Amino acid sequence: MTDGSFGFETITELASAFAGREASPLAYTARLLERIAALDPALTAFVGLTRERALAEAAAAEAAIRRGAAPGPLAGVPYAAKDIFDVAGEATMAGSRLLAGNIATDDCVVVRRLGEAGMVLVGKTHTAQFASTIVGINHDLGTPHNPWRREPHVPGGSSSGSAVAVAAGLVPMALASDTGGSVRAPASLCGIVGLKTTVGRVSRAGVVPLAFSYDSIGSLTRSVEDAALVYQAINGPDPRDETTQHVERHRVLGELERGVAGLRLVFGEGVAFADTDPAVEAAVRASGEVFRALGARVEGLAIPEFEAVQDMADRFVVINVEAYAANRGFLEHQAEALDPVVFWMADGKTHAASDYVAALGKQRDLRRRLAGTLRDVDAVLVPTTPIPARPVDLVDADHRAFAGRYVRNTFLGNFLGLCAVSLPCGFTAEGLPIGLMIYAKPFREEMALRVARAYEQATDWHRRHPDLAWAA
């Protein structure tokens, strides 16, 4: 590991170096904490560090390796957690000063599973308040700085700090959540890999809720292989989250390298490409040639269910009602202390129970219809976000309009129950990352990862990282 690449290693590279005793988990973690201390004042990715815990976990991983224990593929590798994940002894603030005293007594299920796999938690990352906005702005605790630009650009949200931490080489992986695109949008805007899982795959116990019907747990990493390794460690049934109880543990590594020869991949034509930045569309369309060269059958396909969701006047009723229910106390009694970005949640109070039930019924119907449309399709290709990152001041001045554009393609997957991977597929002329989103059918994470891995191996977009001289 050279100084030039330090901080930008993948999980697989680190695990190999640790297992072969070419590097020390403890020394690496200590040096990474120094890197965070040097760069994070400019980046604002972290809300707080867990230094003592990190050094203790790294020392334990190193001792196990020295004893000759067979290290797992995650042993000794540092990571961070979005500040909606409970970490024992730490505040879970969910982007709000109002929760500064909300000290967790236990690790959430996902953090516990990563600890059991030998990973090293170095800290908690900023989020938009209550995980509420896809642009990633937080007027209360601070907006993380997209590392690809000296001038502040939006990092995407709500997993803003997690994305910035990974993109800037502060950690190789960060936990994130996705309710309307909160894994995939920041992955796209920060030029990294984001995995959105199907609701029911990964336990949400111990994670601050936004909308129960759509909340899913995912990861932000520098490679698809890393995403698969983390997913395999955290998925599986948990009695504390009823959506997972009848879903078996999912093992995906055996499928990861199967390639795309013979698969049917389609561009989701229509709304997903409407009003898209020309550079973004060109980069996403160019992925088709890569897949064709790898033996896939690639074509365009109109997906009526995508259009139907976009045309629904009540498509946000479910998320509005559930977000209002989750945050009712704050919205009704401490509204003056809230970040303005959360006030869309108040719309949930205006909907009758019949509106909510009707919206759920439409959702079930569209999910059934989509299963027929995609019966012979292995994956759908669309831009993750129609536009790249824009300056924070510009977005903040017209937050609702920009949020609508950034969320358009990602929310389709939440509403329709799909899983997805976003990964880098190019850059604009200004050097801003562009994301390709690969949608797969519900509970088919192995397919989304397999297709993404084939593209990643055939390109080098994921190997690029920002010049952080301005942040030093």
| Residue 82 annotated as catalytic | yes
| Active-site position among 24, 82, 196, 441 | 82
| Residue 203 annotated as catalytic | no
The token pair at 189 is: 């805007």
Please give the Cα distance from 223 to 437 (Å, whole number). 14
The token pair at 345 is: 């949640």
The token pair at 231 is: 């997913």
User: Tell me, what DSSP letter sits at residue 242?
Assistant: G
Per the CB < 8 A criterion, the answer to whether 377 and 296 are in contact is no
| Residue 182 annotated as catalytic | yes
User: Shortest CA distance to 465 belongs to which of 150, 7, 36, 155?
Assistant: 7
| Active-site position among 96, 132, 158, 160 | 158
Radius of gyration for the alpha carbons in the chain, expressed in angstroms and rounded: 21
Alpha-carbon distances of 271 from 96, 161, 438, rounded to whole Å: 35, 29, 16
| Active-site position among 159, 182, 216, 223 | 182
Alpha-carbon distances of 429 from 38, 283, 410, 426, rounded to whole Å: 29, 12, 24, 10
List of residues 6+ apart from 244 with CB closer than 8 A: 200, 201, 202, 203, 236, 237, 238
Please give the Cα distance from 220 to 167 (Å, whole number). 9
Residue 434: enclosing H or E segment and its boundaries? strand 433-440
What DSSP letter does each residue of 17-42 carry, written as one string? HHHTTSS-HHHHHHHHHHHHHHHHHH
Residue 111, judged by CB atoms within 10 A of its CB (0-12, 13-18, 19+), counts as buried
Residue with tokens 């936990």: 175
Catalytic positions are 82, 158, 182
